[in-house]
Amino acid sequence: MTENAPSFGLLLFPNVTQLDLTGPYEVLARVPGAKVHLLWKTLDPVRSDTGLTILPTATLADAPPLDLLLVPGGGGINALLTDEEVLTFLAERASDTRYLSGICTGSLVLGAAGLLEGKRAGTHWASRDFLSSFGATPVAERVVVDGTLFTGGGVTAGIDVALRIVGELFGADAAKRVQLSIEYDPQPPFDAGSPDGAGEVVTADLLARMRPMLEARAAAVEAGADALRRRRSARAG
Amino acid sequence: MTENAPSFGLLLFPNVTQLDLTGPYEVLARVPGAKVHLLWKTLDPVRSDTGLTILPTATLADAPPLDLLLVPGGGGINALLTDEEVLTFLAERASDTRYLSGICTGSLVLGAAGLLEGKRAGTHWASRDFLSSFGATPVAERVVVDGTLFTGGGVTAGIDVALRIVGELFGADAAKRVQLSIEYDPQPPFDAGSPDGAGEVVTADLLARMRPMLEARAAAVEAGADALRRRRSARAG
C-alpha cells in the first residue's frame, strides 16, 4: 500500500446480504484516496438476498493488488463454501493481502478457504457454531481481531469492523473523521440486537423463520469442511 | 397497504450516499412480504457519491402505490433541490403515501418539494441549518417524528429511522425480529459519531474537507427555496 492510495477489495456474490457489504464500503470509501473494488467472477450485475442489485467493478481474475480483502455474508455463502474458483482466489490472495476480513457469515467462507485454522473468529450469532467446522475458535464478540484477521458479528457489525480497520491502518483520528462524517452515533430504538436483549420469544420466533436456511447451511458447511480436508490431504500427499 | 404486502419506495439518484439508502433498505426488505422499490427517472445504473453502482427497479413514472416514500441524502441532493421532475413526483406522491421519510440530507429534498413547511425535521449535523430555508424547524435528534414524517440525522441514522418505521407499522416485536436478524447491537470503536463526541480538532478538520461541498449546498438550497416560493406564488396567483 502507498499511504495515499489504499486498495480495498470486497467480494460481491449472488445472494449476499447487501448491508454486510455496503456498511463497510461506506466507511472504507471515505478514507481519502481509497479505491474500493467490488470483486466477482464476471462484471454482470449481482443481486443481493433481498433484491438490491449492484455492479461489480473487477473480476476475480483482474483484481488489483489489495491492502484488505473483505468477505461479506448472506444466504449466498452456502454456495461459496464449495466453490473452488472463489476459495482458490481467497486462499491465493490472502497471502499477499495485508488485512483479511469476514463480516457476518462471510467468516465461514474464509474458513472454507482454509484461512481460519487455529484463529479466533466471529460471525452472525445464529451461525457461530459453524466456525469450529473450519478449525476456528468461535468468539461471541462484535469485532474479533486475531493478528491481521478482522472478523465480526452479523450484518451491521461490518460498520464497526471497518472503522476498526481504518483506525488500525490510518490512526484513530482518521477513523473518527469517517465516523463523524457518517454520523455513526447509533441509537437503536429497541434493545434487540442480540438474543439476550431481544428475549426468548423474539429469538425463538426469528430462529423458527430461519430454520430452513440454517439447515441448508449446516449441510453446506459439512460439504465445505469435507472439501477443505480433501484439498489439504491432496497437498500433503 | 395490505398488512401482508407493504410497498416501500426509496429514491435512488446519482451521487446518493449509498448507506443512506442501503441501511433502511436492509431493514425494510426484511419485513415479511415487503416489496422495496428503488425509484429513479430511468432504469439505467445509478452511481453513488463513492462509486457503488446500483440498479433502479422502477421509474418515477411507473412507481407503484407506496406505503412509504423515503429520500436518502448525499452530494447528489444539490441537483435535486431544483429538479422539477423529482420535486413534482415527491409532492404528488406524498399526498397518497402513508409515511414520508428523509434520511440525512434527503430531508432537504423533501423541503424543496414543499413537504417540510411547519414541520420538525432532522438531517445531517453539518447541513442542519439549511432546514429552516424550507420552513422546517431543525431538530438535533437522531430520529425526528412529526406525524407521519420520519426524518433522521446523517447516513447511519437511516437504520434507526427504518426500525422506528417498522415498529410503527407492524409493532415492536416485528421491528425487534429485524433488529436481531441484522445483529444491530452497535459498538462504535470511538465516541466520534457527533461533533460533541468527536471533539473540536476532528470536527474542524472534517468541516474543512467538507467546505467546498457545503458552499455549493448553500447556493443550491437558496436556489431551491427560491424556486419553491415561485411555485407557491404561481399556485396562489
N-terminal to C-terminal alpha carbon distance within chain A: 36
For residue B206, list chain A residues with Cβ-Cβ distance below 8 A: 177, 180-181
Distance in angstroms (rounded) separating the CA atoms of residues A68 and B56: 29
Per-residue pLDDT of A166-191, as tens digits, reads: 999 999 999 999 999 999 999 999 99
Residue B207 CB neighbours (<10 A): 13
Rounded to whole angstroms, the Cα distance separating A200 from B168 reads 22
Range 57-76 of A in CB contact (< 8 A) with B: 57
A186·B156 Cβ contact <8 A = yes
Q: What share of residues in chain B are helix, strand, coil (percent, to 5)?
A: 45, 15, 40
The predicted model scores a pTM of 0.96
Check A188 against B57: CB less than 8 A apart. no
Report the C-alpha gap between A56 and B86 in whole angstroms.
28
Amino acid letter, B134: F
Query: B37 vs A132, A216, B63, B125, CA distance in Å?
Result: 39, 29, 8, 28
Check if A84 contacts B (Cβ < 8 Å).
no
What does the pLDDT average to over B102-119? 98
- Answer for the pair A19, A156: CB distance below 8 angstroms, yes or no: yes
A52 lies within 8 A of chain B by CB? yes
- Mean pLDDT (chain A, rounded): 96
Positions of A annotated as catalytic residues are: 104
**Residue among B30, B160, B195 whose CB faces A187 most closely:** B160
* Closest of B200, B183, B139 to residue A176, by C-alpha: B200
For A50-92, write each residue's pLDDT tens digit.
999 999 999 999 999 999 999 999 999 999 999 999 999 999 9
Q: What is the 3-state secondary structure (H, E, C) of chain A?
A: CCCCCCEEEEECCCCCCHHHHHHHHHHHHCCCCCEEEEEECCCCCEECCCCCEECCCEECCCCCCCCEEEECCCCCHHHHCCCHHHHHHHHHHHCCCCEEEECCCHHHHHHHCCCCCCCEECCCHHHHHHHHHHCCEECCCCEEEECCEEEECCCCHHHHHHHHHHHHHHCHHHHHHHHHHCCCCCCCCCCCCCHHHHCHHHHHHHHHHHHHHHHHHHHHHHHHHHHHHHHHHHHHC
pLDDT category of residue B3 using cuts at 50, 70 and 90: low
CA distance B187 to A154: 12
Closest to B190 (Cβ–Cβ): which among A19, A176, A202? A176
- Burial grade of A117 (CB within 10 A; 0-12, 13-18, 19 or more): exposed
Q: Is some CB atom of chain B closer than 8 A to the CB atom of A182?
A: yes
* In the predicted structure, residue A2 carries a pLDDT above the cut 80: no
ipTM: 0.95
* Chain B CA closest to residue A164: B189
**In sequence order, which residues have a C-beta less than 8 Å from that of residue B152 and are 6 or more positions away?**
B101, B102, B103, B104, B107, B122, B123, B142, B143, B144, B158, B160, B161
pLDDT, residue B211, reads 95
- Interval B146-185: pLDDT, tens: 999 999 999 999 999 999 999 999 999 999 999 999 999 9
